[in-house]
Each structure stands twice: as structure tokens, then as C-alpha cells.
């Protein structure tokens, strides 16, 4: 029996900040000093505080080490593992009080969080199915298969109030009901893991840190709607998530938890992993279906909705990774428990990826209804280098910017939409006084211009024209007429595009025009960028004209 | 796999996870400061681990702490048990460690000759 268990974060962010070197050093030191029986090392999924990576927790005392290096590891082995003294100066500390904290629970970053979906992330070994089972894994699947009818499962999910975490927020139970009621001998479950928004990494982290929760959610959904086959569509740019899902699937099949005659109830459910090539539009459900079918990933008009006519023309439910990862908790703890968190219309929690100019970047899970201020200033720790907060960009290229005066708005689907942003998949980019809002809008537009599938004219041509105008403004050539045309174009693209990509792509422009019009005007009239981001070229151009 | 098989795996692993997170009925804390180590605390710790493993005690955890500040009584061992005052042992040797496991932890009778404090941390 080991004295210490080390949980070292093997999330992608910690890996990119050097986790592997640290882990290897730890393993070799443990071996050199004959501590192999005393110290057990478990590599987990994302623990959340990505800013401080590589991080590790040492149990049983729960010491939380951050910013690990090879030198630090050497000292930790000598002091903590051999002599039993945690190395205080390497432990997490709060910047405000400069107070050393030894226990995870008193770190402000965790205080306001409520981890349901992420409860296993960073706490178990994602490559070991037994650890998932030890945390109650596959118990919910067992419960629905042995005790419940599909209708009862749908009823529970409906009563929980769970809404799709991919962004649009459609009630999950209702979607399942449509698919259950749809006629068809074959039906499908698709897990949408095509997370393409700049600044979003929630789904990736769930797949990396708790892959079995996704598989279990899919199997339950399959039982509920009458499907025997599921697909996980995940982008190839997420190699670690793909690898962990593959391992999880193999282990679940070996145990008979995915496959034929699950729990000897006669229910068959098989899952296949499909890798997407990373086109943003493939996150749109009809484009995603086309991609799985081997066609070009282009959306088609709706209706018919996938619940009626989806993959290969059969009724199909597409749920986002986070939505599916919620299912087992709802089944085990009940719809009332789930509905006790959140707001009247938006229940449960939401995972956000905090990034940008905030002190504590990383992955956080909070009850829906928490205010933006709490999220950015309490959990996020405020703005880096004590700069001034300017806006928060929510929902990636489909989302919008929210300025300071709305920071006390509770975060839920409706209130974000009314502010011109969306919940989206949960990417949250914090901007400070050094960010130019016009350039920011241009950045997102450049992304959507690149990612437009080109099928419909508003999106293909309209976005490009909008981009050209923004480019003109950021270079100092913009006119007041351009600004009017930009707004008109944005509204046209929004209302006339075929799919969600085009319909939401103007949001960054519209929301910045709504809250930061003065910055656009400064660029046009005063030829000035208050954040000093835009470099105006007009002086050089005039010289050229003279020649 | 049947549902019972799943539950068997769960019970086994759940216990392991609880132990690693420090959730246990009994916690044996060995003082491992410099003077503790010099007085043989490491051997004592090994003995505890050994005995617990041998007796298959699933709800007992062994952990370390730094200097206890009572150098002349090292190695010092604290037994923390839910709902009971902590018992502090001094001058613990591997033999005494074995007795603590059998008499105190298994049978509930502290080895009174070596108790130096009750209720201390």
C-alpha cells in the first residue's frame, strides 16, 4: 500500500507546459530512491487551473503543487516523500494575501465552482476503467437497463431541465423524445466533439479526463431513443482526447459495458469513433452528419431535423460531449437534484474555458446563473497585470462581447442572448484595455471567412465584404458610410444564411458595434486606435500617391 | 458482466480511492522531521505499512508529518481515529509499531506504556 498518491495533471495544457519532463523526472527519482512502493503516480485529465501548469496533487494530505519543474520535483521528493514535509514555497498561493495555502478547498479558484461534469476530471486515471467504476461509473447505465423503460429515462432527462451544452440550449429530453417517437428501424446517437471555437477546450478536457462518462451517456441515450449504434465525432487536432476515448472504448467493450447484451439485458449498443479534419462548420449537426456519411461537410436546410431524418436518413440524436457527460449524474441523483442548481430556465452547471487577460486561466465549472463578475474576478482572479477590464467575449466566433456595465448579469442562455452574445460551447475570452475591439471583431471574422463552407451567398460573399470593411477601418481608410454598410451587411448575413455558422458569424461585429461604437468612430474620424493595436498606413500611402 | 460484477469492482476501487484521498477510519501519522528520521522513523513507517498490508486493513491510512518538536521522544506516531481523541506515542520502534497495529488499531486498546499524550496533534 503506497503512503502517497500523486495525481499529476495530464491535460493538454499541462502537457504543453512541460508535464512529461516533470513526470519522467518524478518516476526516475522515485526509482532511484527506492520509493516505488511508497509513492503511486496517477496521470489524470485536466485539473482546471491551466495557468499554473504543470500541476500535481499529493494525497493523502492534498498538497497542491503548481508550476512544477525538474528542480522542484527533486526537492519535493527529498522533502515531502522522504521526510514528510510538504515544500510550502511550491504550493499554490493566493496572489492577494500572499498567503500560503496547503489545501485545495481553500483556494478561491475552487471555492465558487461546482463540479458535476468535471467531478472525475483530474481525480481519476482516465485510462483505467476501474477508477471510473470506483466513482460510480456505469451504475447509471445498469440502473436504466435493469429498472427503467426508455420512456422513464426520457422523462427523467426532461424533468431535470438539461439543455444542450453545445450552445443553442435545446432541451435534451425533448430532443430524445422526438427521436424516440420518430419512425425508423434503425436510429443513431452521435456525440458531437467537434469543438472548433477559438478559446474553447471544455469538450476536449472532458474526453481527456473522463472519457467513460461520454460513453455511458451515449449508451443511456441509445437505450432511451431505441438506437443500437453511436458515433463519436471528434476532431483530429485532439490527439490525446482521441487516444483516451479509444482506450476507454476498448476497456468498456472488454468488460461488456459497450457491445452486445449489456448487463445481460439484451440491449446492444456499439460505438465508433470518427475523426473530423477540423472544419468549424462540421460542428453544425447536418454538416457533421454529412461528414460521417463520407460526404463533404456541408450543412443542409432544416427541417427535416436530424431527430426525424439524420444519419443515413434515419432518426438521429446529436448531443454535445458535455451534455452527454451530465446524463449519468442525472440518472443516479435524480432530476430534482439536478434542477436544484441553476436558474429557472437553465438548470445545472456549465463548464467554461477561461482564457485571455484573466489571471487564472483554465477550465471551470459553475452553477448556471453565476454572474460574469464572479466568474472573471472571483474565480478568474481578475485581470492580469492589474489592467482595466474592457469586455468578455463569450461563445467564440458565434458569440459576442459583453462590456463592463453588464458584468453583474447572471449567466444563462436567455440573458446572454439578450446581450448579443450566446452561451456557445463555453469559451470565454477576457479582454483588457490593450485589446482593440475593432481588431477583435476582425479576428473572429477572418476565422469565419476561412471556415465558411461557401455553399450560400450571404455567408460566402457577405462575410468577406464585412471583413474587407473592417480591414479598411483598422488601416485608417474607413468612412462613416462603411460603418452603416457594415451594420446592414451584418444583419443581412445573420437573417439570410443557411446554417448556424453564417447566422451567428456577424455576432462579434454586431455586439462590438452595440457596445463599442465609439471605438469604431475613433478609428474612422480621428484615425486613432486607443489600444494602439491598429497601425494606420495612410501617411505612407499619401507619399506613394505623390510619386 | 452483470450488475453485481460491476458493484464488486466499484466497492474495491472506491476504498482505494478513499484511502488515497485520506478518507479512512484510522490515520497513522509518523513524525518524519530530521530528528524523527535520525531516530528511525522511516523503519517504523515501513513496519506500519507492512503490518497493515499483511492484515489487509482496508480502512487504515499511513501518512507522514514533519518535526513534532519533541526530539527526545522521537520517533513519534499519532493515531487519529474518527470520533476519538488523538493518541500520541513516543519512542516507537518497529516492534512497538507492530503492537500498536494489533492492540490499538485492531483491538481498540492503546498500548499505554508508550502513550505520551492524549488528544494532542
3-state secondary structure A349-371: EEEEEEEECECCCEEEEEECCCE
pLDDT over 90 (residue A425): no
Q: In B, which residues are within 8 Å of A2 by CB distance?
A: 20
In angstroms, the Cα distances linking A358 to A225, A379, A380, A508, B44 are 42, 10, 6, 20, 48
* CB neighbourhood size of A287 (10 A): 25
Rounded to 5 degrees, φ, ψ at A387 are: -80, 175
Please tell me the distance from the alpha carbon of residue B72 to that of residue A407, in angstroms, as a whole number: 59
Reported as a pLDDT band with limits 50, 70 and 90, residue A544 is: low
Which residue of B8, B9, B53 to mutate against A (max A Cβ within 10 Å)?
Answer: B9
Q: How confident is the model at residue A37, as a pLDDT? A: 84
Reported as a pLDDT band with limits 50, 70 and 90, residue A473 is: very high
In angstroms, the Cα distances linking A488 to A445, A465, A485, A510, B94 are 16, 11, 5, 10, 83
Reported as a pLDDT band with limits 50, 70 and 90, residue A106 is: low
A59 forms bridges with which residues in the sheet?
Answer: A5
Is the separation of the CB atoms in A445 and A508 below 8 Å?
A: yes
Please tell me the distance from the alpha carbon of residue B6 to that of residue B4, in angstroms, as a whole number: 5
Give the pLDDT of chain B (121 residues) as one tens digit per residue: 899 999 999 998 998 888 788 778 898 999 887 788 888 988 999 899 889 888 888 888 888 877 766 778 889 999 998 888 899 999 999 999 999 999 999 998 999 999 988 875 5
Please tell me the distance from the alpha carbon of residue A440 to that of residue A444, in angstroms, as a whole number: 7
Q: Which three three-digit cell numbers place residue A326?
A: 451530465
Residue whose C-alpha cell reads 447566422 in the numeric block: A503
pLDDT over 60 (residue A186): yes
Please tell me the distance from the alpha carbon of residue A18 to that of residue B53, in angstroms, as a whole number: 36
* Mean pLDDT confidence for A386-409: 93
Q: In A, which residues are within 8 Å of B19 by CB distance?
A: 1, 60
Q: In A, which residues are within 8 Å of B16 by CB distance?
A: 134
Q: Which residues of B touch A (CB under 8 A)?
A: 1-3, 6-7, 9-10, 12-14, 16-17, 19-22, 24, 27, 30-34, 37, 45, 49, 52-53, 61-67
Is the separation of the CB atoms in A122 and A113 below 8 Å?
A: no
Q: In A, which residues are within 8 Å of B32 by CB distance?
A: 82-85
Assess A124–B contact: CB distance below 8 Å, yes or no. Answer: yes
Q: Which three three-digit cell numbers place residue B20?
A: 488515497
Assess A254–B contact: CB distance below 8 Å, yes or no. Answer: no
ipTM comes to 0.85
Pick the residue from chain A with its C-alpha nearest to B61.
A3
Say what percent of chain B tops pLDDT 90: 40
Please tell me the distance from the alpha carbon of residue A73 to that of residue A71, in angstroms, as a whole number: 5
Write out the H or E segment, with its range, that includes residue B63: strand B60-65
Q: How confident is the model at residue A102, as a pLDDT? A: 47
- Using one digit for the tens of pLDDT, what is the confidence trace for A451-462? 999 999 999 999
Please tell me the distance from the alpha carbon of residue A119 to that of residue A219, in angstroms, as a whole number: 20
Distance of CA A487 to the CA centre of its chain: 30
User: Which residue of B1, B32, B67 is in closest CB contact with A257?
Assistant: B1
Residue whose C-alpha cell reads 446517437 in the numeric block: A189
Which of A79-83, A411-415, B13-17 shows the highest mean pLDDT?
Answer: A411-415
Check CB contact under 8 Å for A139 and B52.
no
Pick the residue from chain A with its C-alpha nearest to B51.
A1
Q: How confident is the model at residue A539, as a pLDDT? A: 58
Q: In B, which residues are within 8 Å of A38 by CB distance?
A: 49
pLDDT over 90 (residue A535): no
Q: Which three three-digit cell numbers place residue A530?
A: 486607443
Assess A477–B contact: CB distance below 8 Å, yes or no. Answer: no
pLDDT over 50 (residue A392): yes
Please tell me the distance from the alpha carbon of residue A507 to that of residue A511, in angstroms, as a whole number: 6
Assess A302–B contact: CB distance below 8 Å, yes or no. Answer: no
Q: How confident is the model at residue A109, as a pLDDT? A: 76
A429 forms bridges with which residues in the sheet?
Answer: A355, A393
Assess A216–B contact: CB distance below 8 Å, yes or no. Answer: no
* Mean pLDDT confidence for A386-405: 93
Assess A260–B contact: CB distance below 8 Å, yes or no. Answer: no
Residues 6-65 (A) with a CB less than 8 A from some CB of B: 37-38, 40, 59-62
Q: How confident is the model at residue A368, as a pLDDT? A: 95
Is the separation of the CB atoms in A403 and A515 below 8 Å?
A: yes
What contacts A544, CB < 8 A, 6 or more positions away? none
Reference A175, options A196, A194, A190, A195; nearest CA is A190
Check CB contact under 8 Å for B6 and A59.
no
The angle at the Cα of A384, spanning A378 to A389, to the nearest 5 degrees, equals: 75
The angle at the Cα of A206, spanning A153 to A227, to the nearest 5 degrees, equals: 35
Q: How confident is the model at residue B73, as a pLDDT? A: 85
Please tell me the distance from the alpha carbon of residue A250 to that of residue B101, in angstroms, as a whole number: 42
* Mean pLDDT confidence for A348-358: 94
Please tell me the distance from the alpha carbon of residue A526 to that of residue A520, in angstroms, as a whole number: 10
pLDDT over 60 (residue A103): no
* Mean pLDDT confidence for A209-223: 98
Check CB contact under 8 Å for B19 and A1.
yes
- Using one digit for the tens of pLDDT, what is the confidence trace for B20-35? 887 788 989 998 877 8
Q: How confident is the model at residue A97, as a pLDDT? A: 38
A293 forms bridges with which residues in the sheet?
Answer: none
User: Which residue of A84, A135, A255 is in closest CB contact with B65?
Assistant: A84
Reference A288, options A316, A263, A265; nearest CA is A316
Please tell me the distance from the alpha carbon of residue A314 to that of residue A226, in angstroms, as a whole number: 12
Pure H helices in A430-479: 437-451, 457, 463-474
Q: How confident is the model at residue A538, as a pLDDT? A: 62
Reference A202, options A4, A46, A94, A21; nearest CA is A46
Q: In A, which residues are within 8 Å of B14 by CB distance?
A: 134-135
* Alpha-carbon distance A36 to nearest alpha carbon in chain B (angstroms): 13
Write out the H or E segment, with its range, that includes residue A389: strand A389-394
Please tell me the distance from the alpha carbon of residue A211 to that of residue A138, in angstroms, as a whole number: 12
Reference B54, options B116, B112, B97; nearest CA is B97
Is the separation of the CB atoms in A62 and A104 below 8 Å?
A: yes
Q: How confident is the model at residue A141, as a pLDDT? A: 98
Q: Which three three-digit cell numbers place residue B48?
A: 506500519
User: Which residue of A5, A84, A133 is in closest CB contact with B9?
Assistant: A133
Reference A56, options A126, A128, A106, A122; nearest CA is A122
Please tell me the distance from the alpha carbon of residue A6 to that of residue A153, in angstroms, as a whole number: 38
* Alpha-carbon distance A260 to nearest alpha carbon in chain B (angstroms): 11
Query: What size, in residues, is chain B?
Result: 121
pLDDT over 90 (residue A223): yes
Reported as a pLDDT band with limits 50, 70 and 90, residue A426 is: confident
Amino acid at each position: 500500500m503506497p503512503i502517497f498518491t500523486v495525481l499529476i495533471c495530464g491535460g493538454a495544457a499541462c502537457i504543453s507546459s512541460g508535464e512529461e519532463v516533470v513526470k519522467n523526472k518524478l518516476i526516475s527519482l522515485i526509482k532511484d530512491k527506492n520509493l516505488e512502493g511508497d509513492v503511486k503516480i496517477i496521470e489524470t485529465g485536466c485539473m482546471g487551473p491551466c495557468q499554473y501548469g504543470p500541476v500535481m496533487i499529493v494525497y493523502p494530505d492534498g498538497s497542491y503543487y503548481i508550476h512544477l519543474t525538474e528542480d522542484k520535483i527533486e526537492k519535493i521528493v527529498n522533502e515531502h516523500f522522504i521526510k514528510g514535509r510538504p515544500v510550502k514555497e511550491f504550493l499554490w498561493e493566493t496572489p492577494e494575501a500572499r498567503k500560503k495555502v496547503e489545501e485545495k478547498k481553500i483556494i478561491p479558484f475552487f471555492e465558487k465552482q461546482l463540479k458535476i461534469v468535471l467531478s472525475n476530471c483530474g481525480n481519476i486515471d482516465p485510462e483505467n476503467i476501474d477508477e471510473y467504476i470506483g466513482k460510480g461509473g456505469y451504475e447509471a447505465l445498469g440502473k436504466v437497463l435493469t429498472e427503467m423503460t426508455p420512456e422513464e429515462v426520457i422523462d427523467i432527462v426532461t424533468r431535470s431541465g438539461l439543455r444542450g451544452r453545445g450552445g443553442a440550449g435545446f432541451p435534451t429530453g425533448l430532443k430524445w423524445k422526438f427521436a424516440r417517437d420518430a419512425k425508423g428501424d434503425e436510429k443513431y446517437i452521435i456525440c458531437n466533439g467537434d469543438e472548433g471555437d477559438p478559446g474553447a477546450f471544455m469538450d476536449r478536457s472532458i474526453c481527456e479526463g473522463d472519457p467513460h462518462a461520454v460513453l455511458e451517456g451515449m449508451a443511456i441515450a441509445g437505450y432511451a431513443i431505441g438506437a443500437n449504434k453511436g458515433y463519436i465525432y471528434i476532431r483530429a487536432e485532439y490527439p490525446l482526447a482521441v487516444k483516451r476515448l479509444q482506450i476507454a472504448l476498448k476497456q468498456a467493450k472488454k468488460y461488456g459495458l459497450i457491445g452486445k447484451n449489456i448487463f445481460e439485458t439484451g440491449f446492444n449498443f456499439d460505438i465508433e469513433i470518427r475523426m473530423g479534419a477540423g472544419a468549424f462548420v462540421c460542428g453544425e449537426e447536418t454538416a457533421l452528419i454529412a461528414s460521417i456519411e463520407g460526404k463533404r461537410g456541408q450543412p443542409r436546410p432544416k427541417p427535416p431535423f436530424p431527430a426525424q431524418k439524420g444519419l443515413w436518413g434515419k432518426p438521429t440524436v446529436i448531443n454535445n460531449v458535455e451534455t452527454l457527460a451530465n446524463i449519468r449524474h442525472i440518472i443516479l441523483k435524480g432530476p430534482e437534484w439536478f434542477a436544484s442548481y441553476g436558474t429557472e430556465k437553465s438548470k445545472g452547471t456549465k463548464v467554461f474555458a477561461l482564457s485571455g487577460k484573466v489571471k487564472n486561466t483554465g477550465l471551470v465549472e459553475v452553477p448556471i446563473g453565476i454572474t460574469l463578475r464572479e466568474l472573471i474576478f472571483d474565480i478568474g482572479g481578475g485581470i492580469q497585470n492589474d489592467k482595466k477590464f474592457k469586455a468578455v467575449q463569450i461563445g467564440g466566433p458565434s458569440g459576442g462581447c459583453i462590456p463592463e456595465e453588464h458584468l453583474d448579469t447572471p449567466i444563462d442562455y436567455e440573458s446572454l442572448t439578450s446581450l448579443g452574445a450566446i452561451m456557445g460551447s463555453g469559451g470565454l475570452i477576457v479582454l483588457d484595455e490593450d485589446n482593440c475591439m475593432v481588431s477583435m471583431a476582425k479576428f473572429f471574422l477572418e476565422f469565419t471567412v476561412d471556415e465558411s463552407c461557401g455553399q450560400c451567398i450571404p455567408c460566402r460573399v457577405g462575410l468577406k465584404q464585412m471583413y474587407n470593411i473592417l480591414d479598411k477601418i483598422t488601416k485608417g481608410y474607413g468612412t462613416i458610410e462603411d460603418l452603416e454598410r457594415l451594420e446592414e451587411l451584418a444583419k443581412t448575413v445573420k437573417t439570410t444564411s443557411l446554417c448556424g455558422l453564417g447566422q451567428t458569424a456577424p455576432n462579434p461585429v454586431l455586439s462590438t458595434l452595440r457596445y463599442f461604437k465609439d471605438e469604431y468612430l475613433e478609428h474612422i474620424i480621428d484615425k486613432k486606435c486607443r489600444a494602439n493595436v491598429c497601425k494606420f498606413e495612410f501617411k505612407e500611402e499619401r507619399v506613394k500617391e505623390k510619386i | 458482466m452483470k450488475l453485481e460484477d460491476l458493484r464488486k469492482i466499484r466497492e474495491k476501487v472506491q476504498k482505494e480511492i478513499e484511502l488515497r484521498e485520506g478518507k479512512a477510519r484510522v490515520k497513522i501519522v509518523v513524525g518524519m522531521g530530521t530528528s524523527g528520521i535520525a531516530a528511525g522513523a522511516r523503519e517504523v513507517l515501513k513496519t506500519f505499512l507492512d503490518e497493515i498490508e499483511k492484515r489487509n486493513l482496508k480502512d487504515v491510512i499511513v501518512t507522514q508529518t514533519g518535526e513534532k518538536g519533541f526530539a527526545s521522544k522521537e520517533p513519534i506516531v499519532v493515531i487519529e481515529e474518527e470520533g476519538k481523541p488523538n493518541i500520541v506515542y513516543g519512542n516507537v520502534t518497529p516492534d512497538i509499531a507492530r503492537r500498536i497495529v494489533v492492540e490499538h488499531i485492531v483491538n481498540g486498546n492503546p498500548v499505554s506504556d508508550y502513550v505520551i499524550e492524549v488528544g494532542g496533534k
